[in-house]
Chain A
Amino acid sequence: MPSKQEALQPDALEPDTLESEPQDRSAEWVSGLDELDRVPVTETRLGRVGAGLWAATWPKVLALALVIAAWQVIFELELKPAWTLPAPLTVWEDLSSFVVTAEFWTAIRITMWRALTTFALALAVGTVLGIAVARFKPLRAAIGSLITGLQTMPSIMWFPLAILLFQISESAIAFVVVLGAVPSIANGLISGIDYVPKEWRRVGAILGMRGLTLYRHVILPATLPSYVSGLKQGWAFAWRSLMAGELLVIVAGQGSIGALMQGAREFNNAPRVLTWIIVVLLIGIAVDAIFRTADSRIKRKWGLAEVR
């Protein structure tokens, strides 16, 4: 380090040397200063991803362990009869024998397919709605606060209407799931567009971008972090709505998670009910990890925050 600073000094003090060989000396000065200014990056990329994933996972594992311990304690105290609240081990036995059956995987497939298709629909609707509301002032005045209001609406409230409109069908479930997820996705995009730094818009304008070009090259990429957090929240709403829907709207022949869970309750099969609760929890954790990874990847690339 000191040798580099010494190399800096002569240039800064003697104008003659600058004149005699300006190219070489100033090039040295530039790269010397660049080198000193650089922030050294020590961690490897792979290590960072792993650390991020671990940081997102371990609190969940710990929480799960605590819940299981508390559950065992309550079971030992016999506060509830064993056929309504089985021991963790009983549930574990049911879970481990059940996950190898075709019935289990069919239920997972049906539910996840519903989740993905309805979320994709919500994504499309939410994105278009978000851009439209952010772009057109009258539209924002008309439905901007309505979107925020809808976000606070418990989605289970929509089911009676959905059943009247679509009867007991896939459409009834999809209707409610989409209504649950769209406001979050749209709001994420709207606030993202609202908070695009004005310097970026100015650069876009200087580079000759107008209208759609400006959206494509500046505004939409700039909203990415906010959009992803909107998606994450939208997914949470979609997933809740879907579970509520599957418990209420049992479509004939579709052995989804919710349908099988209702069936288990009707047969007083408490271990199976708890098995499903655990499975749904695990799916939630897995999806959350995906969104977290996407989120921290963006933050890392943009230099927005240090990854823990």
Chain B
Amino acid sequence: MSLTRQATPAATARGAAVALHDVVKRYGRGPGAVTALDGVSLNVEPGRFTCLLGASGCGKSTLLSLVAGLDELTAGSIDHVDRPVAMMFQESALFPWLTVSGNVEIAMQVKGVGRAERRRRARELLEVVRLSGFADKRPHELSGGMRQRVALARALAQDASVLLMDEPFGALDAMTRDLLHDELERIWRERNLTVLFVTHNVREAVRLGDQVVLLSSRPGRVLETFDVGIERPRRIDSAPVAELAAEITDALRAEVSRHA
């Protein structure tokens, strides 16, 4: 078991898919202003799975919105090697007026991909998330876990190398979440994606991440970075995962207690 706390120098030398430099995000002006993020610097290495972990108020979702370009920085900079990025949310946010296939196709339609090509690729992607038989169903006919897989297929249809995930499995039951961890891990490896994954679930972070970045709360800063050396495939209930999760939980508790 290799649990290291410092960033591996080799990884830093490889360069970053997304690099954040002293990112600051403030909402409002004057004395009522709220600082959500205060000087966050982070290298998201290509092909790696990075988990952003923190308690409420650490601005982890804000950070993801900034990386996605959905929101504007107050100060600092974010460099992308490859844009635009794909993104998935806690809600599947599928469009109810489209079929499952239509929801995947729309990601390509916007980019002007022809109808036949869209169909073909949507079929392929639904196969990847193991929903081949559901192309013509409506989103409401699927379970929560299946909807999230459609949302994942839609994100993959964007054909971006970087995938941002904002607590994508937060609303799912434990068994479904466990299953989706396996699926996501498989797809991430097959497609050589760079994933930036936000969660408040420590075990989930350790289960999935190559690297777990712990953020402080109010304002959000990088508190500590944990390299997860646990061999894959991992299981959320295995001893090494539990061990590292306990260590990170201690650090997280210390941070939360600071606000008492």
A binds B: yes
The chain A residues found within 8 Å of chain B, CB to CB, are: 12, 15, 18-19, 22, 26-27, 29-31, 33-34, 37-39, 41, 197, 199-200, 202-203, 205-209, 213, 217-218, 221-222, 224, 301-304
Q: Which of B84-114 contact A (CB under 8 A)?
A: 84, 86-87, 89, 91, 93, 95-97, 106-107, 109-111
**B143 touches which of A38, A203, A222, A304 (Cβ 8 Å):** A38
Asked if B183 is at the interface of the complex by the 8 Å CB criterion, the answer is: yes
Q: Are A27 and B130 in contact (CB under 8 A)?
A: yes
Q: List 23 A-B contacts (CB under 8 A).
A: A15-B235, A19-B233, A26-B186, A29-B182, A33-B179, A34-B131, A34-B143, A34-B145, A34-B146, A37-B143, A37-B144, A37-B145, A41-B141, A200-B95, A203-B93, A203-B95, A206-B158, A207-B107, A221-B97, A301-B138, A302-B140, A303-B140, A303-B141
Q: Which residue of A lies closest to B158 (CB)?
A: A207
Q: Are B179 and A29 in contact (CB under 8 A)?
A: yes
The residues of A that contact B138 with a CB separation of less than 8 Å are: 301-303
The chain B residues found within 8 Å of chain A, CB to CB, are: 68, 70, 84, 86-87, 89, 91, 93, 95-97, 106-107, 109-111, 130-131, 138-146, 154, 158, 175-176, 178-179, 182-183, 186, 233, 235, 238
The residues of B that contact A22 with a CB separation of less than 8 Å are: 186, 233
Majority secondary structure, A binding face: helix
Q: Are A208 and B89 in contact (CB under 8 A)?
A: no
Shortest B168–chain A CB gap in Å is 13
Q: Are A197 and B141 in contact (CB under 8 A)?
A: no
The residues of A that contact B233 with a CB separation of less than 8 Å are: 15, 18-19, 22
Q: Are A39 and B97 in contact (CB under 8 A)?
A: no
Shortest A191–chain B CB gap in Å is 18
Q: Are B110 and A217 in contact (CB under 8 A)?
A: yes
Q: Are A199 and B145 in contact (CB under 8 A)?
A: no
Q: Are B96 and A208 in contact (CB under 8 A)?
A: no
The residues of A that contact B96 with a CB separation of less than 8 Å are: 301-304
The residues of B that contact A221 with a CB separation of less than 8 Å are: 95, 97
Considering the chains assembled together, what is the distance between the CA atoms of A202 and B92 in angstroms?
A: 11
Shortest B116–chain A CB gap in Å is 19
Q: Are B111 and A30 in contact (CB under 8 A)?
A: no
Q: Which residue of B lies closest to A30 (CB)?
A: B130
**B93 touches which of A30, A202, A217 (Cβ 8 Å):** A202
Q: Are B93 and A197 in contact (CB under 8 A)?
A: yes
Q: Are A33 and B145 in contact (CB under 8 A)?
A: yes
Considering the chains assembled together, what is the distance between the CA atoms of A221 and B99 in angstroms?
A: 13
Q: Are B95 and A206 in contact (CB under 8 A)?
A: no
